[in-house]
Amino acid sequence: MPITGTRGGHLVVLRGDRVFDWTGYAPRDAFLNEYFAAMHRIFPEWDARFEPADADPISWEFCRTHHHRHPSQFLHDPLPRARAYVRRFALG
């Protein structure tokens, strides 16, 4: 969650010492170092913290609160494609 006054937009899943995002799994510390460095190059004052999701990430409530599009707002249903993509990554 970005601190007040900064923007966000990257949703990740933390599981132990690993992070999952659109690129697949990565070691948590390496991901955080790289992501924070990239954000600081664009927004030097940027900072964020991790918080548990307060609602189902495909609910209207979550999408509205976090300024994401709801799956129904896409031309085609993105959920089957997203589920197929996630299945490609076996957690080892």
Quickly tell me which residue has 């997203």 as its tokens: 82
> What tens digit of pLDDT does each residue of 40-60 get?
898 888 888 777 777 788 889
34's tokens: 């790289």
Residues 24 and 59 in one domain: no
Both 2 and 47 in one domain: the answer is yes
Mean residue pLDDT of the chain comes to 83
- Same domain for 60 and 25: no
Nearest to 66 by CA among 10, 5, 22: 10
Verify that 41 and 72 share a domain, yes or no.
no
Residue 34 pLDDT: 92
1 pLDDT exceeds 80?
Answer: no
> Does one domain contain both 63 and 91?
yes
The residue with greater pLDDT, 4 or 42, is 42
Could you please report the per-residue DSSP string of the chain?
-BPTTS------EEETTEEEETTEEEEHHHHHHHHHHHHHHH-TT--B-----SS-TTSHHHHHHHT---GGGSSS--HHHHHHHHHT----
The number of distinct structural domains making up the chain is: 2
3 and 47 inside one domain: yes
Give the residue among 45, 44, 43, 63 at the shortest CA–CA distance from 53.
63
Instruction: Examine the pLDDT at 92 and tell me if it is beyond 80.
Output: no
Query: Domain range spanning residue 6?
Result: 1-52
User: Looking at the structure, do residues 4 and 46 belong to the same domain, yes or no?
Assistant: yes
Q: What percent of the chain has pLDDT over 70?
A: 87
Do 46 and 88 lie in one domain? The reply is no
pLDDT tens digits, one per residue of 17-44: 998 888 888 999 999 999 889 988 988 8
The answer, yes or no, to whether residue 73 has pLDDT greater than 80, is yes
